[in-house]
Structure formats: structure tokens, C-alpha cells
């Protein structure tokens, strides 16, 4: 077979190869482990597959397409042929042109050489004399050779986000879509992993990971037909979102981040985490503060004295930040429940007579930083904002608005520049007046329930979903340009905004409104496939848990929360002296391991989804001189038999001293203070007692261990 130009996009450990011949469709040739020059010179071309890098609709209509459009004259067919390759730093561009119509598509590939990630996206430019209509506009397509290929992805619901499902790929289609409009990771996620050699394993096997870096509606699709390949498409969900591209306008799709690992799922996760911390996540290399949030303590019952008490409490625990949640605002309509006041971001002086000034004064007095809750994209029918600007809400033309939370909530129309300015002003006014505010919890508690914009013209109503997130992106850019140092958490009815589209502007996300420790093991396990611990807010809560009403031991809740960004929902004023001391000790020990957890390499060891009675994982420093090992029981039976856990990621030649953290046993473990080689810990593992050996009246069925390993 004749070759055109061999286009190589590579990182430290992986290579992507495309064959680009002038006047023909660019072809995928290879994506996998790093190839050397000799291997590249003798590379075999794929057979029995459709390897077009960006298949267009119209001239092979039975095949799935990444791109489809309606030309200005009504023609539904497109042909995209190579018209040159250029390189600018780490970005490779393959230029495609239609030989009949002046439509240009640039395929972009950005290589992050040090973290083994390639971002792929497309840019469509309309050179026709009139507006054209884009009906399908994937970011990228990747062919995956058939065999024993499995797909791992995340699904869930409110209070049950980030659940893992693993399934083999068969003939037909597997489609994952989001249509929420504002949030996109409650019921599914825009990230997947493909195991190329059977059901995925954590620390061995070939895995492709993919994450769409987008905050809006998406569509991930795997099409398997009668050829030798699965075809993976990812991009914006085009349902009811056809885009009218004006003359001279360029449409840019969100990036699809792609990685490859020979070290299993955890290996792919490590690539995502390093890429995320180094290049995407806001302040990805800055340690996160330990905080107390007011929500589970008092809900809407905010008052000055109570906030001061909580600040003193978290300070006494060794914490560093207090966050006042919902319920602090509203003048004409005070925020007492969830059915009023959104948009009226003025302090309720009945609850907080000394205002924000008083809260900042008390924070300084107590030696902690102060954070505040906002929901800037929303309003209520019961609000001064809605009374002044009913034209600012998302509403179907000629129909009544569909109401959300509390029977009154509405979504503001971020396609409208006036709304964008208003949302920016909420944050700008607050931080200009009170620059000491350290943290914002940014919530979004409603989907777009009715399709319609009062700002967009009637011909462009299909732009709503895309325009909303362009507006959201524009607001976030303005905020970060002026306030680069503030910490912002993405909360969206819990974990509705865990995606790499927003995290360049946010420091972390709230994994779930469900803080039950057992369920959090499952949710945080799945979430860790694509997101690092530093971004996953994980709090110690009271029991019975406020969502599932389960009662677990305090140590168990601490040990789970310490595997993410540690915080507290439980109120110290409601704890016994012994419970306070355990939390105080845990916070002090978390500060010791914080760099390992937040910046270390993840190794997942035993999955809770495998139903072996336990879950286990660990973080290891890049230098492999320190590690934190977690072991949680997920069920409890008499005469049970659990597997011994083999560790991973250590230096086989180093000797590691073991120290248990958060110890509640009356006697130290037999392994306490002992030295073990990395080889022994990885090949053999340590025997861990199945139950915490506490005083008789303190025993529970919820046992867990956290071990610190330090090389000597």
C-alpha cells in the first residue's frame, strides 16, 4: 500500500500515527505504546476497517459519521480530503477541505509529552456565501480493533454518582448521552475506558482512556458493525442542537483527551491525574485546605452566633477553613427554604446582623479562612431578580416556564450577555467588597427543563444548549482573569459537574450530596478513574447519615474521607470529647499525608465492585519514598475470609516502615513500626485484622485501616 505523509503525534510513552495523503481521507494507522523510528518505518496498515480520521456524512451513508451538515444550497453530503499538515509546538493540525464547497475542517491534536495525554478536537470554518447548518459535529473518532474489548464507564443519580459499570463491547451500538443542559455527570459521565485484552484489570493490561472536556450535553457512541473495528465517537450531543454557522465563522468542538496505558486502569488513571493536576485543574499543584461546611449541621438555619461557633469548632480541630452554605441571603424575600431568593445576593440582616464583615471578623478571630455558598446561574419566581428581569430566564416561547426545586426555581439564560454580566457581577461585587473571602461553593441545582431562549432569535433556538455553556465558559474566564487566587468548588446537586470542561476554572468538585462512608467508597472509586484526589471533596459526616440513615463508626467515616480532599460536615459541638479527639488526631495526621494523597500516584488494589468483602487502594509519591494504604471492609460476616491485599507502585528494593493512622485499637498492630521490603509488600502483602480491636463497648461492624509507609 502507498503511504502519504506519516503524521506522528507522540508523548513519552505513547504514539498516535495517521496516514495523510493529499486529496484523500486521512487514515488512522496506530494508537498505543510508544514506537521507535524503526517500528514506525515498518508499521503495518490496518485492514478490514474504516480508518477515516473524521468520517463525513453523505458519500458513504450506511457508515457512522463524525461530521454532517446542510450546505447553504440544501446539499446534505460532505467530502473531507487532506489539504496539508502543519505543526505549531505541541499541536499538529491536519487541514481538510471539501472539493466542491468552501468548507474547511481542521483536525487538531495536542500532545502533552510528559503526562501521556493527547487532546483531539475539530474546527469547522464556513467559507460559503451564506449560513450553513451543522447537524453532527463530533470532536473526534477513534477506531479500536475488535477482540475481547471491554468498556468501563460511570453512571448514577443524585446521591449515587460515579458508579462503575464494566461491560464487553458487542455488535451494535453503545451510546452514552447527557441532556441535562446545565450539569452533565449525575446520570452518566463523559469519560470512558476501553480494556483491549479482556475485562479490565487495575494494574496490568492495555487500556485506552477517553475524556470529553466539556461542561454541557454530550454524546459518546461506540458503533460495532461487520468490520474488524469498534468506532468510538465523542462530542457535543447534537440532539435539538443543530448549529447555524455564519459565513466566515469557525465552530470549535471541545477537546477529547485520549491516553493509553500498559498498566491497566490505574495506569490510565495516573495519566489523567497528572495531566489534570499539571495542565487542567485550577491550582492543581497547591494543597487544599481542610474545611468545615455548615450545610449538614444547620441547613438553612444560618445565624451569626452559629457561624462563629462553627469557626471556633473547626479551628479547635486543626482545620483551616469554614464555609457558610445556603440560607444566608435575601432582603425582600429571606432565604428560609429552597423556594425563594436566588438571585438576590444581599445578606439577610435578620440572620446575620453584622453581615459578611462580621463573619470575616469572626474568621480572623478564630484563625481560619472564610468561604461562602452561591448559586449564580439560578433564580426563583419568588425573588426581586425575577420581578425585575423575567426576560432573563430560560423559557420556551409562548409557554409558561417549567419550575424546578421548591416549585419556584428557574435557570438564567447564559446565552444572554446581560445575564453573563450579572453573574460575573455577583462574584465581582462580593470579592471586591470582601477580598478576604477565600472560597466559593458554586452550586447549580436545576436542569434546563424547557427548551427556549428569550434572547436568541427564533431561527437559532437550537443554539440554546451550546450557547449556555459558551456563556458559562465566558463568565468563568472573566472571574479567573480578575480573581486567580480564590478557591472555587463546583457543586451541582452534588456531583453533577465532575468534568474536565469546567475544572480549568474550579479547584475541586463535590462528589455527592451523599456523605455515607460506605456508599462514598463506591462513588469515589469510580470517580477516581478520571479525577485526582485533590479535586474530590470528601467530608466526615454525622450518623445516622442524612441521606441513607446508615450508622457507621466515626473511624470508618474518617478513613474514607481521608482518601480524598478531607473536610467535615459533622458538627464538633455535637460530638463527645473522645470523638473530638479522634477527629483532631485525624486532621493532624491528614496534614502529614496530604502531599501523598493529593499529589501522589493512585494504585487501586481491590475493587468494592468485585464483592470480595473489602476495598483497598493506595497513593504513592513519585519518588516512591512514601505511600498511604487504605483498607475498608464493605460487609461483615462471622467466620469471614477476606483476600490478603497485594500492594503496588512501591520500589521493590526499598524497605518501608509501617505506621497505622487513626488508630483506635487498644494494642498496636503486629506490623506497627516494622520494616518490609517493597517487593514483599507487592508480592505478598500484609495480613490486616478484620476488626478493630477496641474496648468492647466501642466495637462496630465497620472496620478500616489506613497505613503510612515510609522508606528508610
Which residues are the active-site residues? 443, 513
SS3 111: strand
Cα–Cα distances (Å) from 653 to 263, 623, 678, 711, in that order, read 20, 13, 6, 10
SS3 148: coil
- Which among 55, 48, 225, 240 has a CA at the least distance from the CA of 142? 55
- Which among 442, 445, 443, 461 has a CA at the least distance from the CA of 453? 461
Helix locations, 368-463, DSSP H:
384-388, 417-433
Cα–Cα distances (Å) from 454 to 393, 409, 417, in that order, read 7, 17, 12
- Which among 598, 645, 643, 589 has a CA at the least distance from the CA of 619? 598
CA distance 342 to 697: 47
SS3 412: strand
Q: Contact 143/41 with Cβ under 8 angstroms?
A: no
In the block, residue with C-alpha cell 480572623: 364
Residues 656-665: b if buried by 16+ CB within 10 A, e if exposed: bebbbbbbbb
In the block, residue with C-alpha cell 449560513: 131
For the chain, how many residues are written? 712
Cross-strand bridge partners of residue 96: 82, 105
CA distance 71 to 128: 8
Q: Contact 278/12 with Cβ under 8 angstroms?
A: no
Q: Which helix (H) or strand (E) holds 305?
A: helix 304-317
- Which among 53, 55, 212 has a CA at the least distance from the CA of 119? 212
- Which among 109, 167, 169 has a CA at the least distance from the CA of 139? 109
Q: Are strands 103-112 and 250-252 parallel, antiparallel or unpaired?
A: unpaired
C-alpha cell at 423: 453573574
Q: Which helix (H) or strand (E) holds 254?
A: none
Q: What DSSP assignment string belongs to 581-599?
A: HHHHHHHHHHHHHHHHHHH
- Which among 109, 49, 101 has a CA at the least distance from the CA of 80? 101
Q: Contact 594/626 with Cβ under 8 angstroms?
A: no
CA distance 702 to 706: 14
Amino acid at each position: 500500500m502507498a503511504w502519504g505523509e506519516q503524521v506522528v503525534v507522540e508523548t513519552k510513552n505513547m504514539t498516535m500515527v495517521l496516514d495523510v495523503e493529499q486529496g484523500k481521507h486521512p487514515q488512522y494507522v496506530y494508537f498505543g505504546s510508544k514506537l521507535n523510528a524503526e517500528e514506525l518505518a515498518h508499521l503495518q496498515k490496518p485492514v478490514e476497517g474504516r480508518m477515516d480520521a473524521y468520517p463525513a456524512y453523505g458519500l458513504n451513508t450506511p457508515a457512522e459519521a463524525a461530521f454532517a451538515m446542510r450546505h447553504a444550497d440544501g446539499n446534505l453530503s460532505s467530502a473531507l480530503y487532506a489539504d496539508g499538515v502543519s505543526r505549531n509546538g505541541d499541536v499538529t493540525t491536519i487541514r481538510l477541505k471539501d472539493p466542491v464547497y468552501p468548507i474547511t475542517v481542521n483536525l487538531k491534536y495536542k500532545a502533552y509529552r510528559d503526562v501521556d495525554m493527547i487532546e483531539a478536537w475539530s474546527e469547522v470554518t464556513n467559507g460559503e456565501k451564506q449560513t450553513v447548518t451543522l447537524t453532527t459535529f463530533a470532536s473526534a473518532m477513534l477506531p479500536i480493533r475488535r477482540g475481547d474489548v471491554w468498556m468501563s464507564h460511570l453512571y448514577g443519580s443524585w446521591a449515587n454518582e460515579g458508579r462503575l459499570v464494566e461491560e464487553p463491547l458487542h455488535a451494535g451500538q453503545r451510546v452514552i448521552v447527557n441532556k441535562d443542559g446545565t450539569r452533565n455527570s449525575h446520570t452518566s459521565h463523559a469519560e470512558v475506558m476501553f480494556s483491549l485484552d479482556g475485562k479490565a484489570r487495575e494494574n496490568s493490561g492495555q487500556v485506552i482512556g477517553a475524556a470529553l472536556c466539556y461542561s454541557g450535553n454530550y454524546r459518546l457512541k461506540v458503533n460495532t458493525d461487520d468490520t474488524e473495528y469498534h468506532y468510538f465517537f465523542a462530542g457535543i450531543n447534537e440532539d435539538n442542537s443543530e448549529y447555524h454557522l455564519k459565513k466566515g465563522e469557525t465552530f470549535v468542538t471541545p477537546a477529547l483527551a485520549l491516553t493509553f496505558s500498559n498498566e491497566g486502569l490505574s495506569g490510565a488513571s495516573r495519566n489523567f491525574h497528572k495531566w489534570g493536576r499539571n495542565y487542567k485543574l485550577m491550582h492543581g499543584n497547591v494543597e487544599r485546605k481542610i474545611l468545615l461546611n455548615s450545610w449538614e449541621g444547620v441547613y438553612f438555619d444560618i445565624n451569626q452566633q452559629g457561624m462563629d461557633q462553627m469557626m471556633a469548632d473547626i479551628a479547635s480541630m486543626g482545620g483551616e477553613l469554614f464555609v457558610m452554605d445556603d440560607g444566608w441571603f435575601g432582603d425582600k424575600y429571606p432565604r428560609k427554604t429552597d423556594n425563594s431568593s436566588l438571585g438576590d445576593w444581599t445578606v439577610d440582616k435578620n440572620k446575620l446582623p453584622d453581615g459578611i464583615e462580621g463573619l470575616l471578623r469572626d474568621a480572623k478571630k478564630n484563625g481560619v479562612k472564610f468561604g461562602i455558598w452561591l448559586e449564580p446561574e439560578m433564580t426563583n419566581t419568588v425573588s426581586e431578580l425575577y420581578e425585575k428581569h423575567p426576560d432573563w430566564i430560560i423559557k420556551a416561547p409562548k409557554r409558561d416556564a417549567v419550575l424546578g426545586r421548591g416549585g419556584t426555581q428557574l435557570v438564567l439564560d447564559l446565552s444572554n450577555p446581560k445575564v453573563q454580566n450579572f453573574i460575573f457581577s455577583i462574584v465581582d461585587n462580593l470579592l471586591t467588597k470582601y477580598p478576604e473571602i477565600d472560597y466559593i461553593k458554586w452550586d447549580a441545582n436545576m436542569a434546563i427543563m424547557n427548551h427556549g431562549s428569550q434572547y436568541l432569535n427564533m431561527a437559532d433556538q437550537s443554539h440554546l444548549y451550546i450557547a449556555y455553556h459558551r456563556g458559562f465558559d465566558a463568565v468563568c474566564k472573566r472571574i479567573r482573569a480578575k480573581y486567580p487566587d480564590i478557591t472555587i468548588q463546583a457543586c451541582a446537586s452534588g456531583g453533577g459537574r465532575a468534568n474536565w470542561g469546567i475544572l480549568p476554572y474550579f479547584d475541586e468538585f463535590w462528589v455527592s450530596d451523599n456523605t455515607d462512608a460506605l456508599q462514598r467508597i463506591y462513588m469515589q472509586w469510580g470517580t477516581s478513574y478520571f479525577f485526582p484526589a485533590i479535586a474530590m471533596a470528601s467530608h466526615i459526616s454525622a450518623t445516622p447519615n442524612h441521606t441513607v440513615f446508615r450508622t457507621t463508626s466515626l473511624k470508618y467515616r474518617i478513613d474514607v474521607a481521608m482518601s480524598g480532599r478531607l473536610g467535615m460536615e459533622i458538627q464538633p459541638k455535637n460530638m463527645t470529647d473522645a470523638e473530638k479527639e479522634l477527629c483532631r488526631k485525624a486532621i493532624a495526621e491528614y496534614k502529614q499525608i496530604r502531599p501523598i494523597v493529593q499529589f501522589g500516584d493512585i494504585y487501586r488494589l481491590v475493587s468494592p465492585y468485585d464483592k470480595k468483602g473489602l476495598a483497598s487502594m493506595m497513593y504513592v509519591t513519585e519518588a516512591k519514598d512514601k505511600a498511604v494504604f487504605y483498607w475498608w471492609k464493605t460487609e461483615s460476616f462471622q467466620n469471614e475470609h477476606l483476600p490478603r491485599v497485594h500492594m503496588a507502585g512501591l520500589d521493590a528494593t526499598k524497605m518501608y516502615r509501617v505506621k497505622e493512622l487513626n488508630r483506635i485499637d487498644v494494642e498496636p498492630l503486629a506490623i506497627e513500626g516494622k520494616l518490609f521490603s517493597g517487593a514483599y509488600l507487592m508480592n505478598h502483602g500484609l495480613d490486616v485484622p478484620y476488626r478493630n480491636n477496641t474496648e468492647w463497648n466501642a466495637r462496630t461492624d465497620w472496620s478500616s485501616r489506613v497505613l503510612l509507609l515510609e522508606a528508610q
